């Protein structure tokens, strides 16, 4: 495993005590305590997702893609929501845009980085300057 998911689950459990809308299975764990099988399943799923996402990032970075946007699902948690829709510089080629957060940000969420092509930016009437102005650098939770 690349990340210590058990330690991250412990840390996120504490962080989610102060979040109004923690994602499942954290919400249940905060009410009832962790079921060992659920906790193990969460760690395994987070590791599998991280592995797949790292391969995706290597692939698009290797293809020369720099601009990406963090897209969240509708059931994102309050801790991840602040990064939703924000632009990031995958290869460090766009001054003013921060690098993307490590995904998954928390073990329960399954967000993704999507390409920001010139056509997409034009179709949404967005410029790179807009992305820079709205940028939110990733800050690891305390």
User: Residue 22: which residues within 8 A CB-CB, separation 6 or more?
Assistant: 16, 30, 77, 78
Q: Which of 68, 56, 121 is CA-nearest to residue 94?
A: 68
CA distances from 74 to 59, 78, 91 (A): 26, 11, 28
Q: Which pLDDT score is estimated for 75?
A: 67
Q: Three-class SS of residue 111?
A: coil
Q: Which pLDDT score is estimated for 123?
A: 95
Q: Which pLDDT score is estimated for 1?
A: 52
pLDDT below 70 — which residues of the chain?
A: 1, 75-76, 142
Q: Which pLDDT score is estimated for 86?
A: 95
What is the value of pTM for the model shown? 0.87
């Amino acid at each position: 495993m690349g990340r210590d998911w058990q330690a991250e689950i412990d840390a996120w459990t504490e962080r989610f005590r102060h979040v109004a809308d923690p994602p499942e299975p954290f919400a249940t764990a905060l009410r009832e305590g962790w079921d060992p099988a659920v906790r193990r399943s969460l760690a395994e799923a987070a590791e599998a997702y991280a592995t797949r996402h790292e391969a995706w990032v290597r692939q698009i970075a290797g293809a020369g893609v720099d601009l990406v946007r963090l897209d969240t699902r509708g059931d994102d948690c309050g801790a991840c929501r602040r990064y939703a829709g924000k632009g990031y510089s995958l290869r460090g080629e766009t001054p003013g845009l921060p690098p993307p957060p490590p995904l998954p940000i928390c073990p329960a969420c399954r967000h993704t980085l999507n390409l920001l092509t010139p056509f997409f930016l034009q179709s949404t009437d967005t410029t790179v300057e807009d992305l820079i102005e709205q940028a939110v650098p990733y800050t690891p939770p305390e």
